[in-house]
Amino acid sequence: MPEVQPLLGDLVVGRYPISEEAWGGFWDRLSAKELKPGEALAVVSALTARTPDGESVANLLASLRARNPKPETPPRPPVNIVGTGGGPSTFNLSTASAFVAGAIGARVVKTGSRAYASRTGSVDLLDRLGVPMTSSYDETEDMLERYGMACAGAFVYPKEVRLLARAVFPFPMKQVGRFFNLVGPFLGAVPTTAQITGVSDHSAIPMFRGLADGDTTKRYWIVSNELEADELLSIVDADVHDSGGEGPFKLRPSAIGLAGGTFEELKPVDDLDQTVDHFLRLIGGDGPTAAIESIKLNAGALAILGGVAEDWADAFQKATDAMDAGAPADLIERLRAHNASAKAGTA
């Protein structure tokens, strides 16, 4: 009978916490192609079937950070908004908010993934928009300096996750590796100073709050709501855990001037071919109340954390002015033009 490796055995029976050294040994054997047949698939499946305790996940992330490049501290404070996935499906709200925040003047580094639970993930949408993903930290900083926004590519994520995906093939990570999508907001070494992360699986909230408090490199807002959406929504109060010192608070959209709307107004379009047109209309302020106000709410939070808005009233006014002027769409056009020039060798 094949020997069961200690890490796998601990995952299967839930023997926690799992040390950073144990995770490190697994990554080292993965990189050296020394895993036993089926071991990678078994580990990935065990993680997805049952999320380990917070200390084990923190040790996992620490072991990956130790093996991958770290970005330099940004000279000016960039922000990011990225959810854990799952929950009720909405249009690409976090991506819309990122473009609006960028148009306001916040420095935005947007990360994300292809669709897991939603119909169109942020990377899928960026592909459709023709917006380039950066391939290095230098390129990311260059895009920030030129345009105030950069969409960071897969290079920010640990190389070990890519090796895992190859090791479990032909089983897709989308099917067996959902754990890595869940912790994705903490996997990337993203050069930002603040991050908004929505959590749809409320059982994971204590873990995420612990991870946020343990990361002194940036300020986190860990947000959740009773609809189990992984974004701030104008139609429902949100619980916000702020690792920056203010502690937990309740964000009530009605108390900061938002009118609400219904969840139906937040759903994605049925026809995927209409995704881009629908997205561009929304960031231009043309859409139902809940969609437009939810964009402003998330963009406003990014503007406040990015230091370009003093308070909610200031943030909402700046978001409204930018959307009415077509500034988010103009930003997309400039990023598209950069992409076209880069492909032509003239950037």
We report the CATH number of the domain holding residue 48 as 1.20.970
Q: Using one digit for the tens of pLDDT, what is the confidence trace for 194-237? A: 999 999 999 999 999 999 999 988 999 999 999 999 999 999 99
| DSSP track, 214-278 | H-TTSEEEEEEETT--SS--TTS-EEEEETTTTEEEEE-GGGGT-----GGGGPPPSSGGGHHHH
Instruction: Name the pLDDT band for 1 (thresholds 50, 70, 90).
Output: very low
Tokens of 63: 């072991």
- Do 26 and 137 lie in a common domain? no
Distance CA 286, CA 193 (A): 31
Instruction: Name the pLDDT band for 2 (thresholds 50, 70, 90).
Output: very low
**281 is a domain residue:** yes
Percent of the chain at pLDDT above 90?
A: 82
Instruction: Name the pLDDT band for 245 (thresholds 50, 70, 90).
Output: confident
- Taken as a whole, the chain contains a residue count of 347
pLDDT for res 73: 78
Distance CA 298, CA 310 (A): 15
Instruction: Name the pLDDT band for 247 (thresholds 50, 70, 90).
Output: confident
Distance CA 175, CA 200 (A): 18
CA atoms within 13 A on the CB side of 104: 35
Tokens of 321: 């002015």
**257 is a domain residue:** yes
DSSP 79: E
Q: What is the mean pLDDT of residues 19-34?
A: 97
- Do 142 and 164 lie in a common domain? no
* Amino acid symbol at 261: G
Residue of 151, 154, 137, 142 whose CA lies nearest to 102: 151
Q: Could you tell me the residue range of the domain that residue 44 belongs to? A: 1-67+158-178
Distance CA 313, CA 347 (A): 38
Distance CA 104, CA 188 (A): 25
Instruction: Please report, for the domain that includes residue 143, its CATH number.
Output: 3.40.1030.10
**303 is a domain residue:** yes
- Do 130 and 167 lie in a common domain? no
For residue 334, pLDDT beyond 90: yes
Q: What average pLDDT does the structure give for the chain?
A: 92
pLDDT for res 347: 58
**300 is a domain residue:** yes
- Do 248 and 276 lie in a common domain? yes
Q: For the chain, how many structural domains are there in total? A: 2
Instruction: Name the pLDDT band for 116 (thresholds 50, 70, 90).
Output: very low
Tokens of 310: 């003093």
Q: Using one digit for the tens of pLDDT, what is the confidence trace for 252-300? A: 999 999 987 999 999 999 988 899 999 999 999 999 999 999 999 999 9
For residue 117, pLDDT beyond 90: no
Q: What is the mean pLDDT of residues 321-345?
A: 91
Q: What is the 3-state secondary structure (H, E, C) of 183-228?
A: CHHHHCCCCCCEEEEECCCHHHHHHHHHHHHHCCCCEEEEEEECCC
